[in-house]
């Protein structure tokens, strides 16, 4: 069975509303990035060096990144030789299959790790402006809908308006926000957040942190201190350290990820504003180069547009036209 037929069968078993969110949120990337790939493969009569070079340009322009692009094209060359492929039209499912493999990180899950035996503590890190506070609010909304008791800790005491912004989300969602004054010690805020969450028998504590990079050393030391406080009070916490990245910043997101990973043990990525860019290839670069799972993606402005990342939904949304074409070919092999 062909790759796209297998993908269609997997998607048929998933929630239709989520499928629509991925299709809508990735429409810019699909029409730009995948559209260019489809035009390249359908417009050629043979597989030659020029085709590979053009493919490299398309991948790099979609923020797949130079390193991942070179690896992807090299693996495609190897598969073409091994399978004795001569028709460029057969390259698209082959390329899609290789991308799927890159999105699969051994021993890592794209699902949020929840504490089954007590309160789950999730720490959010990332630079200012990437959508950290909004992500926390949207995730609080999701957990609340699931019937969980949620507490927010306003650990970003540095950015003007950060505490107030989290309070707005707290009121909107209907959850408590633990805060100090602006400029207070973030670790002290997180400590109080943990004690408050314990006393209120909360299921989930979501912790905001500062994101300034002007003084990177201070920020990273601050994050390490926050991490130590959580581990002291909740020995198996934090259960997730989620690095929030803005998909529209492209390769800068990779640089940020490397910086933050040096300070704290990042367990997963939240990629915001994926609907606002035609360069969704950054998802592939992050998975491949950082070996970190993308756990959540922002696919729109609404509270429920923050979705758990699903590799099959991602690939289906990108290559939806190819999947439809496959339906019209009964043999499809």
263 and 136, same structural domain?
Answer: yes
Domain presence at residue 285: yes
154 and 286, same structural domain?
Answer: yes
Domain presence at residue 263: yes
Cis peptide before 225 (omega within 30 of 0): no
Domain at 61, CATH number = 1.20.120.140
φ and ψ at residue 219, rounded to 5 degrees? -60, -45
168 and 39, same structural domain?
Answer: no
For the chain, what is the mean pLDDT? 92
131 and 65, same structural domain?
Answer: no
* SS3 (DSSP) at 244: strand
149 closest CA partner among 190, 91, 201? 201
Q: What is the pLDDT of residue 331?
A: 45
CB 271 within 8 A of CB 296: yes
> Average pLDDT in the 18-30 region?
95
Six-digit token string for 153? 């800790």
Single pTM value for the model: 0.92
C-alpha–C-alpha distance, residues 2 and 91, integer Å:
12
DSSP 97-160: HHHHHHH--TT--SS----TTS-EEEEEE--TTSSHHHHHHHHHHHHHHTT--EEEE----SST
Domain presence at residue 307: no
Q: Given strand 204-207, what is the order of strands in its sheet? A: 176-178, 150-153, 204-207, 120-125, 240-246, 268-272, 294-298, 306-308
CA distances from 43 to 40, 165, 278 (A): 5, 50, 22
Q: What is the pLDDT of residue 149?
A: 98
Domain presence at residue 113: no
Domain presence at residue 310: no
Domain presence at residue 110: no
Q: What is the pLDDT of residue 171?
A: 97
155 and 243, same structural domain?
Answer: yes
Residues 86-137 pLDDT 10s:
999 999 999 999 999 999 998 889 999 999 999 999 999 999 889 999 999 9
Residues 235-268 pLDDT 10s:
999 999 999 999 999 888 888 888 888 778 899 9
How many domains, the chain? Answer: 2
97 and 37, same structural domain?
Answer: yes
Q: What is the pLDDT of residue 333?
A: 41
159 and 278, same structural domain?
Answer: yes
> Average pLDDT in the 147-161 region?
94
319 and 190, same structural domain?
Answer: no
Domain presence at residue 111: no
Expressed as residue numbers, the domain containing 237 is 120-298
Determine how many CB atoms are found less than 10 A away from the CB of residue 270. Answer: 27
DSSP 64-89: --HHHHHHHHHHHHHHHHHHT---GG
φ and ψ at residue 268, rounded to 5 degrees? -170, 170
282 and 165, same structural domain?
Answer: yes
Domain presence at residue 309: no
266 and 320, same structural domain?
Answer: no
219 and 172, same structural domain?
Answer: yes
pLDDT above 90 covers what percent of the chain? 80
Q: Which of 110-114, 204-208, 275-279 has the lowest mean pLDDT?
A: 275-279
User: What is the DSSP code (8-state) at residue 207?
Assistant: E
pLDDT above 70 covers what percent of the chain? 96
CB 171 within 8 A of CB 86: no
Domain at 132, CATH number = 3.40.50.300
133 and 20, same structural domain?
Answer: no
Determine how many CB atoms are found less than 10 A away from the CB of residue 129. Answer: 11
Six-digit token string for 270? 């939240």
C-alpha–C-alpha distance, residues 102 and 285, integer Å:
9
């Amino acid at each position: 069975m062909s790759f796209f037929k297998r993908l269609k069968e997997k998607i048929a078993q998933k929630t239709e509303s989520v499928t629509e969110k991925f299709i809508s949120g990735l429409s810019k990337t699909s029409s730009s990035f995948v559209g260019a790939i489809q035009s390249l493969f359908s417009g050629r009569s043979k597989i030659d060096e020029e085709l590979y070079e053009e493919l490299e340009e398309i991948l790099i322009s979609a923020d797949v990144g130079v390193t991942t692009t070179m690896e992807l094209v090299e693996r495609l060359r190897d598969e073409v030789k091994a399978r004795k492929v001569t028709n460029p039209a057969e390259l698209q499912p082959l390329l899609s299959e290789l991308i799927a493999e890159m999105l699969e990180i051994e021993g890592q899950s794209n699902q949020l790790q929840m504490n089954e035996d007590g309160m789950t503590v999730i720490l959010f890190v990332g630079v200012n402006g990437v959508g950290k506070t909004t992500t926390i609010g949207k995730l609080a909304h999701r957990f609340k809908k699931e019937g969980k008791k949620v507490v927010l800790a306003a650990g970003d005491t540095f950015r003007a308006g950060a505490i107030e912004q989290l309070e707005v989300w707290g009121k909107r969602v209907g959850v408590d926000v633990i805060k100090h004054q602006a400029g207070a010690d973030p670790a002290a805020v997180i400590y109080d957040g943990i004690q408050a969450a314990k006393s209120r028998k909360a299921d989930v504590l979501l912790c905001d942190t500062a994101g300034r990079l002007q003084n990177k050393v201070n920020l990273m030391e601050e994050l390490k201190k926050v991490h130590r406080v959580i581990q002291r009070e909740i020995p198996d916490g934090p259960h997730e350290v989620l690095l929030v990245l803005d998909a529209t910043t492209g390769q800068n997101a990779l640089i940020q990820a490397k910086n933050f990973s040096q300070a704290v043990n990042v367990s997963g990525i939240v990629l915001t504003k994926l609907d606002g860019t035609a360069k969704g290839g950054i998802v592939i670069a992050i998975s491949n180069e950082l070996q970190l799972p993308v756990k959540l993606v922002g696919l729109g402005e609404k509270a429920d547009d923050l979705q758990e990342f699903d590799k099959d939904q991602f690939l289906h949304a990108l290559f939806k036209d190819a999947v439809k074409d496959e339906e019209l070919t009964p043999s499809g092999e």
